[in-house]
């Protein structure tokens, strides 16, 4: 798997959920077509009259999620930027997605503005496998946030975490070790450790 392959999977899903935050600070999500994927960049468009457009111009941050028929979830989180050569990109989007002509016939297409995401992080989460598998990627100047849990040197080797793990993703050792690519991030080990030896990744404590 590569970052571009993950983006291509979103393109194949096409109708993906795009989430932003309103000016009141409330989450909003809508289905938007993934129009083009090229060179680790994802392209889409929206009309200037929509709140989605205003939110993109305001903060630029967006999260995109899609699910394949094989239960593979792809999540892209990053910054969306407006493309400068608007007419060129809208024309290309309509060439590569001809069904758009039925929604915005003729010159009405130019009420749409094209955006692209070039900087962000991608997570691929395969629920169709046992144990589950997850992979993370970065595109452009994006950063991969730390998620999940780690077992510290306070571990006493009692095996409580391993015995309770739904995906059996914890291996014996000194200390025990979590296979991050198979971890659900459910927190069961974190809650049940008798000596509080498990920490949340990214937690300085």
Q: What is the 3-class SS of the chain, one letter each residue?
A: CCHHHHHHHHHHHCEEEEEEECCCCCEEEEEEECCEEECCEEEEEEECCCHHHHHHHHCCEEEEEEECCCCEEEEEEEEEEECCCHHHHHHHHHHHCCCHHHHCCHHHHHHEEEEEEEEEEEEEEECCCCCCEEEEEEECCCCCCCCCEEECCCCCCCCHHHHHCCCCCEECCCCCEECHHHCCCCCHHHHHCCCCCEEECCCCC
- State residue 23's pLDDT score: 86
Nearest to 160 by CA among 147, 172, 150: 172
**The pLDDT of residue 205:** 46
Specify the pLDDT at position 204.
53
What was the pLDDT predicted at 141?
A: 85
pLDDT computed for residue 170 by the predictor: 96
Residues of the chain with pLDDT under 50: 205
Are 189 and 164 contacting, i.e. CB atoms less than 8 angstroms apart? Answer: yes
Identify the residue whose tokens are 């780690």: 150
- Structural contact between residues 157 and 175, judged by C-beta atoms closer than 8 angstroms: yes
User: Do 110 and 87 meet the contact criterion of CB atoms below 8 Å apart?
Assistant: yes
pTM of the model: 0.87
């Amino acid at each position: 798997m590569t970052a571009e392959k993950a983006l291509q999977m979103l393109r194949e899903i096409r109708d993906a959920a795009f989430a932003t935050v309103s000016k009141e600070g409330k989450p909003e999500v809508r289905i938007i077509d993934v129009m083009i994927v090229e060179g680790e960049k994802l392209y889409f468009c929206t009309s200037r009259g929509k709140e989605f457009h205003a939110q993109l111009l305001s903060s630029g941050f967006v999260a995109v999620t899609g699910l394949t028929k094989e239960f593979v979830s792809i999540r892209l989180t990053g910054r969306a930027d407006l493309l400068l050569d608007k007419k060129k990109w809208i024309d290309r989007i309509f060439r590569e997605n001809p069904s758009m002509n039925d929604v915005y016939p003729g010159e009405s297409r130019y009420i749409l503005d094209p955006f692209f995401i070039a900087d962000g992080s991608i997570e691929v989460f395969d629920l169709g496998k046992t144990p589950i598998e997850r992979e993370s990627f970065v595109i452009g100047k994006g950063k991969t946030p730390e998620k999940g849990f780690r077992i510290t040197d306070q571990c006493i080797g009692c095996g409580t975490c391993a015995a309770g793990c739904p995906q059996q993703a914890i291996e014996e050792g000194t200390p025990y070790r979590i296979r991050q690519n198979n971890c659900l991030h459910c927190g069961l080990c974190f809650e049940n450790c008798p000596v509080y030896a498990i920490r949340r990744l990214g937690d300085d404590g």
